[in-house]
Structure 1
Amino acid sequence: MRMVFRWFGEGNDTVPLKHIRQIPGVEGIVWALHDIPAGEEWPMDRIVEVERQAKEYGLHLDVVESVNVHEDIKLGLPTRDVYIANYIRTIEKLAQVGVKVICYNFMPVFDWARTDLFHQAEDGSTALFFEKSKIHGIDPFELVRTINENSTLTMPGWEPERLAHLALLFEAYKTITEEDLWDNLAYFLQAVIPAAEKNGIQMAIHPDDPPWSIFGLPRIVTSQDNLRRLLGLYDSPANAITLCTGSLGANPSNDLIAIIQEFHNRIPFTHIRNVRVYENGDFIETSHRTQDGTVDVSGVVKAYHDNGFTGYCRPDHGRHIWEEVCRPGYGLYDRALGIMYLWGLWDAYCKASIEAEKESVAS
């Protein structure tokens, strides 16, 4: 397991690279050019600048999250080929600085959804929260405004400029079914996977967050069956999965251990986080500790260990603790604690395997 840490760039992140470098076992950053609009080709000079910044602290750039997919591609519009061509040229540029994995998603309009960015927990910390009943009655325009008003930093997937196009997007998606979205995803993969193969990059799709429809928009990467169908759209190691335990874990019917066991050789990148799911379907993000939530984090790490996982892992989303002022979900303290919990589990499983092997040889 190779530990990495998401970083939003100089001037757009409260966590500096020098602090990330001090977290035990972290070897690289998970990065992106967040100010480049979806569909545009990434400039090489900007890519090289991030490489320079990371190398100054001995960190690599192996994982990008995300090269966003333009809505015209998801909608299957005639203009999609222009944006796919830009995407392929970006893949080629990223390969030049050693990128191995591109995490992306195929969620219409919004990358993720929460109803409260700073919901208070029993211990006084705050965390991202999803109130299921509220999402059904809230105006999506108002949700975008609320999210941006409550964060001094840009929130990927909820950028202010989306407001200008929101009404048009909702109108365009009125006729798009889940099967249409599957067809448009297949078209995208048929075009970009050969380029990814040629450049030694794996395209690792992120599950929908949460894993069900919101605002009447279709969502298709929500379950083990969906992931199986996704991998079947283009049979190649370059067509892969970013397994996010928090996204899929928001639906308790998703068996994360079974998913890892079935698809472990197609998971080059994983987000590990915990959520506590309530009986009414609400959920709050918790510490990474297994007992604090609904996700069997210790079982997840064991499944990766037992299947010889050598991919990249990042602690996904943390609580806001110790009065830290940070991007919602992306502070330093709780994610660093999460890393140490994950390493503790991993080291314990490694030691147990070594001891078992010694006993087997001795007997």
Structure 2
Amino acid sequence: MRMVFRWYGEGNDTVSLRHIKQIPGVEGIVWSLHDVPPGEEWPLDKILDYKAQADEYGFHLEVVESVNIHEDIKLGLPTRDGYISNYIRTMEKLARVGVKVICYNFMPVFDWIRTDLFKELEDGSTALFYEKAKVDSIDPEELVLAIAGNPTYTMAGWEPDRLRKLIPLFEAYREITSEHLWNHLKYFLVRIVPAAEKLDIRMAIHPDDPPWPVFGLPRIMTGRDSIRRLLQLVDSPYNGVTLCSGSLGAHPANDIPAMIREFADRIPFAHIRNVRTYENGDFIECSHRASDGTVDICEIVRAYHETGFRGYARPDHGRHLWDESCRPGYGLYDRALGIMYLWGIWDSLERANQGR
């Protein structure tokens, strides 16, 4: 397991590379150019600037999250070919700085969805929260004001450019079914995967978050069957999945350790985090400790260990602790605690193996 840490860049993150360097076992930065709109080719000078900053602290840039997919690709519009060409040219530049994995998603309009960015937990910490009844009844534009209208931090996956066109986007998706979305994803992968093979970059799709339809929009990456289908669209080790225990764990029917054991050779990147689910469909993010949530983090790490996982992993979202002012879900303290919890499980499994 190769531990990495998501970083939003100089001037766009409360956590510094100097802080990250002090977390044991972190070897690389998970990064992106968040100011480049989806569909545009990434400028090489900005990529090299990121590399220079990472090099100063001895971090690699082998995992990018995300090179976002333009909506025209998801909608299957004639303009998609130009955006796919831009994507491939960006991949070629990323290969020059050693990128090995690109995490992306294929969620229409919205990326992850939550209704409260700072819901208080019993211990006084706060965390990202999803209230099903509110999502079922709220106007999508209200949700945009609550999430993307955050005045302090840009929210990854909630690009202002895209969300300003919310009404026409919903209209465009009115006739798009799940099958249409699957076909459009296949079209994208048939073009992208040969380039990925040539550049030695593994594509790793992120599950939908949450893993069910929202606001009438189709969602297709929701569990074990959909991952199987995804991997068969283009049968190549360069077509893989970012297995996110938090996204998939929001649905009680998802057996994540079983998925790890089945898809082990197609998981180049893992997001490991815990959520606590409720019978009414709500869920809240919590500490990584297995007993604090619904997701069995101990068994998940065991599954990675048993399958000889040598991919990249990050602790993903954390709570907001000790009055830390930070990007929602991406403070320093709880993610650092999460890393140490994950290493504790991993090291115990290693020690047990050595003792046999």
TM score, norm. by length of structure 2: 0.99
Find the residue that maps to 1:149 and give its secondary structure: coil
Give 1:188's aligned residue.
Answer: 188
Alpha carbons 1:144, 1:160 under 8 Å: kept: no
CA root-mean-square deviation: 0.7
Q: Distance in 2 between matches of 1:125 and 1:167?
A: 36
Letter in 2 for 1:222: T
Q: Distance in 2 between matches of 1:259 and 1:130?
A: 24
1:163 Cα shift? 3.1
Give 2:209's aligned residue.
Answer: 209
Find the residue that maps to 1:102 and give its secondary structure: strand
Find the residue that maps to 1:185 and give its secondary structure: helix
1:60 Cα shift? 0.4
1:151 Cα shift? 5.0
Find the residue that maps to 2:27 and give its secondary structure: strand
Give 1:361's aligned residue.
Answer: none
1:311-348 CA deviation, whole Å, 9 max, x = no partner?
00000100000000000000000000000000000000
Letter in 2 for 1:23: I
1:70 Cα shift? 0.4
1:75-112 CA deviation, whole Å, 9 max, x = no partner?
00000000000000011110000000000000000111
1:161 Cα shift? 2.8
Give 2:269's aligned residue.
Answer: 269
1:288-324 CA deviation, whole Å, 9 max, x = no partner?
0000000000000000000000000000100000000
Give 1:175's aligned residue.
Answer: 175
Letter in 1 for 2:333: Y
Alpha carbons 2:37, 2:161 under 8 Å: kept: no
1:157 Cα shift? 1.4
TM score, norm. by length of structure 1: 0.97
Q: Distance in 2 between matches of 1:21 and 1:66?
A: 22
1:261 Cα shift? 0.5
Identical columns (%)? 71
Alpha carbons 1:269, 1:311 under 8 Å: kept: yes
Find the residue that maps to 2:148 and give its secondary structure: helix
Alpha carbons 1:117, 1:150 under 8 Å: kept: no
Letter in 2 for 1:65: E
Once the two structures are overlaid, the 10-residue window that deviates more, 144-153 or 275-284, is: 144-153
Give 1:359's aligned residue.
Answer: none
Alpha carbons 1:145, 1:160 under 8 Å: kept: no
1:281 Cα shift? 1.1
Find the residue that maps to 1:127 and give its secondary structure: strand
Alignment pair present for 1:63 and 2:63: yes
Give 1:293's aligned residue.
Answer: 293
Q: Distance in 2 between matches of 1:50 and 1:274?
A: 30
1:271 Cα shift? 0.2
4+ residue segments displaced more than 6 Å: none
Alpha carbons 2:257, 2:299 under 8 Å: kept: yes
Give 1:3's aligned residue.
Answer: 3
Alignment pair present for 1:281 and 2:278: no
What number of residue pairs does the alignment pair up? Answer: 356
Q: Distance in 1 between matches of 2:224 and 2:14?
A: 35
Give 1:122's aligned residue.
Answer: 122
Find the residue that maps to 2:102 and give its secondary structure: strand
Letter in 2 for 1:165: K
Structure 1: which 5+ runs fail to align? 357-363
Alpha carbons 2:37, 2:159 under 8 Å: kept: no
Structure 2: which 5+ runs fail to align? none
1:162 Cα shift? 2.8
Give 1:252's aligned residue.
Answer: 252
Give 2:43's aligned residue.
Answer: 43
Find the residue that maps to 1:251 and give its secondary structure: coil
Which aligned pairs between 1:67-146 and structure 2 lie closer than 5 A?
Answer: 67-146=67-146
Alpha carbons 1:151, 1:327 under 8 Å: kept: no
Alignment pair present for 1:149 and 2:166: no
1:168 Cα shift? 0.8
Q: Distance in 1 between matches of 2:264 and 2:353?
A: 19
Alpha carbons 1:320, 1:329 under 8 Å: kept: yes
Find the residue that maps to 1:242 and give its secondary structure: strand
Q: Distance in 2 between matches of 1:144 and 1:297?
A: 31
Alpha carbons 1:102, 1:203 under 8 Å: kept: yes
1:25 Cα shift? 0.2
Letter in 1 for 2:84: I
Alpha carbons 2:88, 2:195 under 8 Å: kept: yes
Give 2:242's aligned residue.
Answer: 242
